[in-house]
A and B are shown apart, each in its own frame.
Chain A
Amino acid sequence: MTMSDGFYFYPGCSYETAAGYKESVDAVCSRLDIRLEELPDWNCCGSTAGFSLQGDYGVYHPALVMARASQAGAKELVTGCNGCFNTLRKTRKLLLQDQDLYAGTWRKILQEGGPDSAPQLPVRHLLQVLSSRGQMHKSSLSPDMSGLRVAAYYGCLFSRPWTDVDDPEHPQMLDRFIEGLGFTPVNYSLKTACCGAAHALGFRQSTEALVQRIILAMQDKGAHLAAVICPLCQLNLESAQLSLGLPRLPVLFFTQVAGLALGVPRKELGLDKLLIAPEKI
């Protein structure tokens, strides 16, 4: 098993079925010479469900993920899901501030036949990795595309409560990324407003009202499309629009947006999997 740049990629459970996320990540990374090696034999991080049923002991599943990565020799984990990103980082924080929890979790992983390796390591978001590659290739953007106004949507857990990643209230990383691609980022105020997450299952009307505010704020500022960095944000922002009766705004993954700028053929970006087709591009 080889690994480039000292990190393993942790896709998380929603990655494969997300609308063209995997397709566009593969296409963009291959063009930027970034090798994403998937963490072998990974398991679900447990997300908020784990903490809701087990409190601090919800750290077990995310700790197991990190123990596997440590054993495989990784220096850090990279994920493209805000939920995984937050769960893994939160777990690491809890373990590092509580020695008993740390030791107990390691012991339980061993008892269950898991790896005998540190159950914590630094975690980064895929947006951080791609942003650190500097400016993209503006030149391949056709003139009609450079006028596209793209609304960066960060969702909750990328910048909250992680003040070391970006400003928690006014993150900029995705806006600068969009700008670097040659598109026009849109300034609006709900970039980190909640999409409703898993509550969309049981409380659909409540979460659709949250999405309505977000989409309207984007459209008020003239957005042609939204760029997101999390599979659940994408699903909620897109699917709620089907019943809201608003003019529809396509919701793309940031890697699909990057692919367009890099001149990747549309069919390689999985755009046909979107529920709201991006007709303007």
Chain B
Amino acid sequence: MRFLHSHKTLDPEHQETLSRSFFQGRAGKEVQHCIQCGTCSGSCPLAHEMDLGPRRILALLRDGFLAEVLGSRSIWMCVSCNACLTRCPQGVPVSDIMYALRVMSLEHNLARREFKMPDVYRGFVRQVEKRGRVSESRLAAGYGLLHPSDMPGRLSLALRLLRRRRI
């Protein structure tokens, strides 16, 4: 598919298995109500940062291109702002579909390091499970260790927050 970035292509049988397991879940059932109007992509604050916008993701899912969707950066760029699902004339819960896709993407090892958000979420949930609560500075520090190139610009913010007793 020429509009997709170079993904690991999967054999048809594997695609079929992925597709079946997706459509058995709640999110998969909801996808079928989509009428491809594009209101979701038009409402998305980060659609311009996505390789595949939300409307296109829903179309690919229905056509069985699960691996392409699961390996895309887009499913990790969703901020869960709920603009799409609030406006969707069909009531498709787009944010929940993104969550379901993220879970599958991690299960099948299709998320790449440069998608970054898997590391943010893993660090977050690890804190919840270990300590019950989350410290934002710990979260940022943990993320910084995994993605040091994102950190230089953040140090001055950390110092300012520290000076105001916000860390």
- Using a CB–CB distance below 8 Å, which chain A residues touch chain B? 13-14, 17-19, 42-44, 46-56, 58, 61, 86, 156-157, 160-161, 168-169, 192-194, 196-199, 201-204, 206, 210, 239, 242-243, 272-275
Bound complex: CA A161 to CA B153 (Å): 34
Contact between A44 and B99 (Cβ–Cβ < 8 Å)?
Answer: no
Bound complex: CA A188 to CA B105 (Å): 39
Q: Which of chain B's residues have a CB closer than 8 A to the CB of A43?
A: 128, 132-133
Contact residue among B116, B133, B153, B165 (Cβ-Cβ distance under 8 Å from A13): B133
Q: What is the number of residues of chain B that contact chain A, defined by CB distance less than 8 Å?
A: 52
Q: Which of chain B's residues have a CB closer than 8 A to the CB of A202?
A: 116-117, 119-120, 143, 147, 150
19 contacts between A and B (CB under 8 A): A19-B164, A48-B121, A49-B122, A50-B125, A51-B80, A52-B117, A52-B118, A53-B102, A53-B125, A55-B102, A156-B83, A161-B82, A161-B85, A197-B80, A198-B117, A198-B120, A202-B117, A204-B150, A204-B154
Bound complex: CA A239 to CA B106 (Å): 31
Bound complex: CA A104 to CA B134 (Å): 25
Closest B residue to A161 by CB, please name it: B86
A56-B96, A242-B157 known; 8 other A-B pairs, CB under 8 Å?
A13-B135, A43-B128, A46-B125, A156-B83, A196-B45, A199-B77, A203-B49, A274-B164
Contact between A53 and B122 (Cβ–Cβ < 8 Å)?
Answer: yes
Q: Which of chain B's residues have a CB closer than 8 A to the CB of A156?
A: 79-83
Contact between A52 and B133 (Cβ–Cβ < 8 Å)?
Answer: no
Contact residue among A14, A168, A242 (Cβ-Cβ distance under 8 Å from B136): A14
Contact residue among B77, B86, B136, B160 (Cβ-Cβ distance under 8 Å from A17): B136
Secondary structure type dominating chain B contacts: helix
Counting from the closest, the 10 A-B pairs by CB-CB distance are A202-B116, A49-B124, A156-B81, A49-B121, A160-B82, A194-B81, A43-B132, A194-B45, A13-B134, A51-B99
Q: Which of chain B's residues have a CB closer than 8 A to the CB of A192?
A: 83
Chain B 69-109 interface 0/1 with A at a Cβ cutoff of 8 Å (1 = within): 00000000101111101100000000010011011001000
Contact between A204 and B153 (Cβ–Cβ < 8 Å)?
Answer: yes
Bound complex: CA A201 to CA B119 (Å): 10
Q: Which of chain A's residues have a CB closer than 8 A to the CB of B133?
A: 13, 42-44
Q: Which of chain B's residues have a CB closer than 8 A to the CB of A46?
A: 124-125, 128
Contact between A196 and B79 (Cβ–Cβ < 8 Å)?
Answer: yes
Contact between B166 and A273 (Cβ–Cβ < 8 Å)?
Answer: yes
Closest A residue to B87 by CB, please name it: A169
A109 to B: closest C-beta gap in Å:
14
Q: Which of chain B's residues have a CB closer than 8 A to the CB of A49?
A: 120-122, 124-125, 128
B97 to A: closest C-beta gap in Å:
10
Bound complex: CA A66 to CA B99 (Å): 22
Contact residue among B26, B116, B128 (Cβ-Cβ distance under 8 Å from A44): B128
Closest A residue to B143 by CB, please name it: A201
Contact between A206 and B150 (Cβ–Cβ < 8 Å)?
Answer: no
Is B35 part of the binding interface, using a Cβ–Cβ cutoff of 8 Å? no
Contact between B153 and A193 (Cβ–Cβ < 8 Å)?
Answer: no
Is B37 part of the binding interface, using a Cβ–Cβ cutoff of 8 Å? no
Contact between A272 and B164 (Cβ–Cβ < 8 Å)?
Answer: yes
Most chain A beta-carbon contacts within 10 A, residue among B27, B46, B118, B143 = B46
Contact between B103 and A53 (Cβ–Cβ < 8 Å)?
Answer: yes
Closest A residue to B140 by CB, please name it: A201
Bound complex: CA A42 to CA B49 (Å): 36
Is B19 part of the binding interface, using a Cβ–Cβ cutoff of 8 Å? no
Q: Which of chain B's residues have a CB closer than 8 A to the CB of A86?
A: 82
Contact between A44 and B153 (Cβ–Cβ < 8 Å)?
Answer: no
Q: Which of chain A's residues have a CB closer than 8 A to the CB of B134?
A: 13, 44
Q: Which of chain B's residues have a CB closer than 8 A to the CB of A48?
A: 80, 121
B19 to A: closest C-beta gap in Å:
17
Closest B residue to A198 by CB, please name it: B120
Contact residue among B45, B119, B157 (Cβ-Cβ distance under 8 Å from A239): B157
Q: Which of chain B's residues have a CB closer than 8 A to the CB of A168?
A: 86
Contact residue among B83, B118, B147, B164 (Cβ-Cβ distance under 8 Å from A194): B83
